[in-house]
A and B are shown apart, each in its own frame.
Chain A
Amino acid sequence: MNGWLEDIYRTDRRALYALALSVTRRPALAEDAVHEAVVRLAGKGAPPAGDARAYVFRSVRNAALDQLRAGRRGVAGKTLPPTDGVNGSAAPLFADPGPCPAEQTEQAEQTHRLRRAVQALPEAQREAVVMKVFGGLTFQQIAEASDAPLSTIASRYQRGLSRLKTQLESQHEPTPT
């Protein structure tokens, strides 16, 4: 009955979790968001009439926004901190590559900068980048998932890439002493 949903989750589970994490920036809320979206979709039973992948990403994004709003309200009136990360940093979207050999230090440093740059993107741009690059969605699918015009999604994505490139290039330049 829900084979379509199981297939999409199996294929896109990392991207869906990353999208939820990108919105909520807290692992616990992201997990709840993905779970909540799956429960909602499974309860409906039949697959949607349109693009099923875009529909699932949209559901996860909306569930993440719901979780974020609930998290901001806090439990029993006590507002949660903005992030779960250490020193206010966001929960990581990417896996930790672990220690690298000495000859790969420069590449690892660049990777580390890119990860931080993605984390630092504005939320809308980060969502577009996550869904396009890691989810493999088309601009049309992202527009459906984000409930935004296609041209706006393309602009967000392009600006996100531009900002990432600027960050990487500025970090490549030698630091003046």
Chain B
Amino acid sequence: MNPHRPDPTDPEADVSAAPLTDAESAEVEAALRALALAEPPASLDARVAEALRAAPALALTDAPPADDEAPTLSFADHPRRSGWMTWLTVAAVLALLAALGLSVLLPRHTTPDGPSLVDQRPGPTETPDRLADTPDAGPSVTHVGHRFTEQPVELRWSRDLDQGLLTSAEGQPVRAIRRQDVEQRVWVDTQRGITVQITRPTERLVVVKQPTF
């Protein structure tokens, strides 16, 4: 296709306009090139220069990309969102483990005269004599022979998500509630003046027995 010829299938085509020859097109183009474009204002040059100077800082801001431009960073690549992705992944794994535990424990705890609230909590934590490279311990700290005292767990953030009604194997309806917390746990070794602080998200699945009619 000759790109200088109008496309007859183009809906914008103006049938009244006579096509130009190459010579005529070149003549008009030459006349146009003789025109001088307006000079951008000096204030624009200054603003652009400032924007280019500030570019490294801008790259770290949370400005949303324009609708029309393909983002160069994926959702998970964003520095702030990657943290949330990690949290969500951890929460999903915990939810899966809780669901598996529920499927095993639910028939034992949902007898007709049983408790109306079944709380699947992890067992009581022991005061650690040794903090090692375990997921709960967090930082790689090992102190043999020194006793850390655990401070009361501080709840920093919490929310409950209604997961709807379930039916146990015995046919008992229960309401599942997913409780998400962010806890802060602190161990203090007063002798050595060492404080270990861990902030971690936790998730529990709570089932509440529902009345039957």
Contacts and interface: CB of A to CB of B under 8 A. Distances in A.
B52 A94 contact: no
B41 interface: yes
Interface stretch (B12-20, B79-87, B181-189): B12-20
Contacts of B61: 43
B58 A14 contact: no
B36 A94 contact: yes
B9 interface: yes
A103 B43 CA distance: 37
Contact of B35 (A43, A63, A94): A94
Given A14-B38, A21-B38, A152 B32 contact: no
A111 B35 CA distance: 7
A46 B36 CA distance: 32
A114 to B, nearest CB: 6
20 contacts: A13-B40, A13-B48, A16-B40, A31-B44, A35-B47, A40-B63, A40-B66, A40-B69, A44-B59, A44-B71, A94-B36, A152-B12, A154-B6, A155-B6, A158-B19, A158-B25, A161-B20, A161-B24, A161-B28, A162-B19
A159 B14 contact: yes
Interface in B1-37: 1, 3-7, 9-10, 12-14, 17-20, 24-25, 27-29, 31-37
A34 interface: yes
Contacts of A129: 32
Interface in A119-162: 124, 129, 133-134, 139, 147, 150-152, 154-159, 161-162
Contacts of A75: none
B28 A93 contact: no
Interface in A156-177: 156-159, 161-166, 168
A54 interface: no
List the 7 shortest-distance A-B pairs measured between CB atoms, nearest first. Answer: A151-B7, A42-B55, A17-B40, A43-B58, A154-B3, A155-B6, A14-B37
A33 B109 CA distance: 65
Interface of A: 1-2, 5-6, 9, 13-18, 21, 27, 31, 34-35, 38-40, 42-46, 48, 55, 58-59, 62-63, 66, 92-95, 97, 110-111, 114-115, 118, 124, 129, 133-134, 139, 147, 150-152, 154-159, 161-166, 168
Interface of B: 1, 3-7, 9-10, 12-14, 17-20, 24-25, 27-29, 31-41, 43-45, 47-48, 51-52, 54-56, 58-59, 61, 63, 65-72
Nearest to B55: A42
